[in-house]
C-alpha cells in the first residue's frame, strides 16, 4: 500500500475509536454511572467463556497488566462476582472462577448493553446495517492477524 494511503488510514484509525465509542457505545456513560468499571465486565466475560483461568491468562486476554489484575480480581472477589480456586495440578497456581452472582451481573449487563446498542443502530437502513456488519467482521478478522 502506498505511504499516502497508509498515512490516511492511520489518521482515520485515530478518529475511528473515539467516534465508534461515541456513536455506538454512547449509552455507557449513562448506564454505568456509579457502577463497576468496564474492565470488570471484560474479565467476567472471559471467565464465563473460558471457565477457570489463572490471573496471567485473564490479563493477556483483556490486555491488563499483572499488577492491575490483582486489584481488579480482589474487587471482583470482594463483590462476590468471582472466586479464587487452587489449581488441581499445580499448588502454586490460583485460578479465578466466575460465581453465579457474577454470571447474573454479566447477563444483566449484556441484556442492557445489547438493547442500547441495538437502539443506537436502529437509525440505520437495512443496507447500512448489512454494510456495517460486514465491515465489523472484516475489521475483527484483520485485527486477529496483527
Range 36-145 has CATH code 1.10.10.10: yes
Instruction: Give pLDDT tens digits for 27-82.
Output: 554 444 446 788 888 899 999 999 999 998 999 988 888 888 999 999 999 999 99
Contact of 36 with 78, CB cutoff 8 Å: no
- Three-state DSSP at 2 gives coil
Question: What's the CA gap between 28 and 10, in Å, rounded?
Answer: 26
Which sequence spans correspond to the domains of the chain?
36-145
pLDDT recorded at residue 28: 52
Quote the mean pLDDT of the chain: 88
pTM beyond 0.75: no
Q: Which residue has the higher pLDDT, 5 or 23?
A: 5
- The C-alpha atoms of residue 51 and residue 121 are separated, in whole angstroms, by 32
Q: Above 70 in pLDDT, residue 125? A: yes
Q: Cβ atoms within 10 A of the Cβ of 119, count? A: 11
Q: Which of 4-13, 16-25, 79-88 has the lowest mean pLDDT?
A: 16-25
pLDDT of 116 above 50: yes
Amino acid at each position: 500500500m502506498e505511504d499516502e494511503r497508509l498515512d490516511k488510514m492511520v489518521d482515520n484509525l485515530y478518529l475511528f475509536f473515539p467516534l465508534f465509542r461515541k456513536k455506538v457505545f454512547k449509552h455507557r456513560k449513562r448506564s454505568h454511572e456509579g457502577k463497576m468499571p468496564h474492565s470488570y465486565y471484560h474479565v467476567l466475560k472471559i471467565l464465563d467463556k473460558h471457565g477457570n483461568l489463572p490471573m496471567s491468562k485473564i490479563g493477556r486476554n483483556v490486555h491488563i497488566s499483572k499488577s492491575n489484575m490483582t486489584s481488579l480480581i480482589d474487587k471482583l472477589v470482594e463483590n462476590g462476582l468471582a472466586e479464587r480456586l487452587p489449581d488441581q495440578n499445580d499448588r502454586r497456581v490460583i485460578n479465578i472462577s466466575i460465581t453465579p452472582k457474577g454470571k447474573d451481573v454479566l447477563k444483566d449487563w449484556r441484556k442492557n448493553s445489547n438493547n442500547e446498542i441495538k437502539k443506537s443502530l436502529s437509525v440505520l437502513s437495512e443496507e447500512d446495517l448489512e454494510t456495517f456488519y460486514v465491515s465489523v467482521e472484516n475489521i475483527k478478522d484483520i485485527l486477529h492477524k496483527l
